[in-house]
A and B are shown apart, each in its own frame.
Chain A
Amino acid sequence: MFRFLMKGMLRDRHRSLLPSIVVALGVMLTVFMFAYMKGVFDDFFNNAALYDSGHVKITSRAYYEEKDVLPNDLAMEDGPALMKMLRGEYPELEWSERVKFGGLLDAFDENRETRAQVGAAGIGIDFFGPDTAERKRWNLSAGLQSGTLPQKSGDILMGKTLASQMKLGAGDEVTLISSTVNGSMVLQNFNVAGIIYFGTPPMDKGMFLADINDAKYMLDMGDWSSEVLGYFNTPYYDDVRARDLAASFNAAHSDSSDRFSPQMVVMLDDAGLSEYFGYAEKAGSIVSFIMIFAMGVVLWNTGLMGAIRRYGEMGLRLAVGESKAHVYLSLILESLGIAIMGTAVGTMFGLGFSYWLQEVGFNIGSMMGDSEMLMPTIIRAHITPTAFYIGFFPGVFATLLGSALSGLRIFKRDTASLFKELEI
């Protein structure tokens, strides 16, 4: 019967073409929107992980309580021992030490007198360690606009807009006025090795990267560690895995009575992103629901139009003895065929557009203006395995819903008046 129905649908294009196009368009939009939302959220979380939180972060309890003011004086003692322990006990993660600090960057003239001063934030990362993954993680080579990556102690990379604002170029010297963990004012000279484009406006406007050892020396931290970030060997954050790890680490190594004992926090809690993560997790469901609703209404209407056009055919089929339920079932089966066909085509196009957005991206830099959000300027889609089947839910469900609703009219036909109607 299904084969028979398919033949009928293919031969009578009025019966299949419009509903198929509607389904294909809806599914294409569903797949594309899902991949787009996934891409935006994933980039957002990846940025947070890269710049700020890692997938998990270890700080002292005291530091975490005041983390917004970068209290490096409350850092964990004996950082090297902590790193050794982490790499030994938790080898499934890449561990990176970071130190964040702020101050006034002071550009000077040939008489060493102040020429320009700008408030800036610095992050100390491991540029030179033998096992460092930071250069690759930050994708520094790709973002380098001029100069070189740091070659020696004292070299820094400066955000593109910040450098431009201070009229600094690669090779220039700049002084950072900051304070040590003891509160002493410190003036430290750095060499601008390269100008980098982070691709995130707040960072390009006000951030520079220094080697972590230089940063620690400047801050007079000795071997203390402010923050140790852990990254799973997967490109995307896994909340369940992160929470399991944090629970086991804190049970083994954290002491709630010691303010300076280490404490592991997962990215979502550290960066306050739990709510956003919830939205991201529900992105597929939200898009599917909207599409099911919208397409259902359209296909219901299409079904009603089809039913009017096929009014005579239905009447004849009922007149020759076909049961109403059978006619209804055949309509549902027809719609199933249309749904599968339209969904396949829609998914194909949806994946195609998503792939383009994933690879090429869409630059929204000019629209972000002075945004302080840690969002990348290039928006990209992200095709996940879910994108391959997400379209089937609205595609099939909405089509069946539309047909089921419009087909209900069959049961309202009065058999006694069929012959009168068929005289026409």
Chain B
Amino acid sequence: MRNLIPILFMGALPALLPAQPDAAEILRKIDHQMVTESSEATATMIITNRRGRESRITSRSWSKGETTSMVEYLSPAREKGVKMLRLDDVLWMYTPQADRVIQISGHMLRQSVSGSDLSYEDMVDNGKLLDIYDAAVVGEAEFMERPCYVLRLRAKKDADEVTYAQRKVWVDKTRFLPLKEERYAKNGSTLLKNFEIRSVQKIGDRWYPKEMFFKDVLANGQGTRYIIDDIKFNVDIPDYMFTKAALRE
């Protein structure tokens, strides 16, 4: 019996240690926080160019599901009325100045959005992480005084062409928000973009980013802050909003 006690104790040891998190479950929780059925938001993008000067763009956006969204620029005056419509993997842009609707495709998708550190690909690439990546927990760390899981994400073989083939993500252990990301090219070693969530907000029972920071490592700018001024989830948006005809209105 004396010999049995340690054995029983050893058998119970895994249950006493902190549970090893399942990476797929973490991704599912992130998707639950970040992906909504529909939303309507007003945001400000603050871009610092390589001369160190700031420019601000405010926009209003509507989204439905994972692949349908519309963005309209509200300011500055020069950009006012510019609209972008995403329908599945296709992005359309309308500028009132030229009264033209053009499809943004091919290499244009890799261009910066309004001089920011976001590309048009970044705008299109917002599906559920769980559908796109295989994940593994590679460690734990603290970021902005929040304990995090560190995940390594690799694009699934059967996933469609993805913008970032690999990501390293610092996920808040309790809020399940990706507080920090390093986004890599296919080779896994070329860092393309850094992303951080600098402040968060709680809307209903959902934690959501309030201010984000993007830095295109290959660009000369000093980074882009993206601040969500106002956001509503699960709002009723008419389907007409997501048509090419709506771009001109």
Contact = CB atoms under 8 A, between A and B. Distances in A.
B95 to A, nearest CB: 4
A183 B100 contact: no
B199 interface: no
Interface in B186-222: 221
Given A183-B115, A185-B111, A73 B47 contact: no
Contacts of B51: 73-74, 260
Nearest to A220: B78
A108 interface: yes
A68 to B, nearest CB: 15
A180 interface: yes
A106 B47 CA distance: 28
A74 B51 CA distance: 8
A129 B114 CA distance: 31
A74 B103 CA distance: 29
B38 interface: no
A104 to B, nearest CB: 8
Q: Report the interface size class on chain A.
A: 20 to 34
Nearest to A190: B98
A260 B101 CA distance: 37
18 contacts: A73-B49, A112-B101, A175-B98, A175-B100, A175-B102, A179-B111, A179-B112, A182-B49, A182-B114, A183-B114, A183-B115, A185-B104, A185-B114, A186-B97, A187-B93, A188-B98, A189-B99, A189-B100
A100 to B, nearest CB: 19
A108 B103 CA distance: 13
Given A73-B50, A177-B102, A187 B114 contact: no
A363 interface: no
A366 B182 CA distance: 54
A32 to B, nearest CB: 50
A187 B100 contact: yes
B11 to A, nearest CB: 61
B112 to A, nearest CB: 5
A384 interface: no
A187 B116 contact: no
Interface of B: 47, 49-51, 55, 78-79, 93, 95, 97-104, 108, 111-116, 221
Contacts of B93: 185, 187
A179 B113 CA distance: 10
For A112, A177, A183, A188, the residue with the greatest tally of chain B CB atoms inside 10 Å of its CB is A183
Given A73-B51, A112-B101, A187-B93, 8 more contacts: A106-B102, A179-B111, A179-B112, A182-B55, A185-B93, A185-B108, A185-B111, A187-B95
Interface string A256-284: 00001000000000000000000000000
B188 to A, nearest CB: 28
Given A73-B50, A182-B47, A220-B78, A187 B97 contact: yes
Contacts of B104: 185
Interface string A73-100: 1100000000000000000000000000
B78 A112 contact: no
Nearest to B73: A184
B115 A182 contact: yes
A114 B79 CA distance: 22
Nearest to B115: A183
Closest 10 CB pairs of A and B: A183-B115, A187-B98, A182-B115, A184-B114, A187-B95, A183-B112, A189-B98, A175-B98, A187-B100, A175-B100
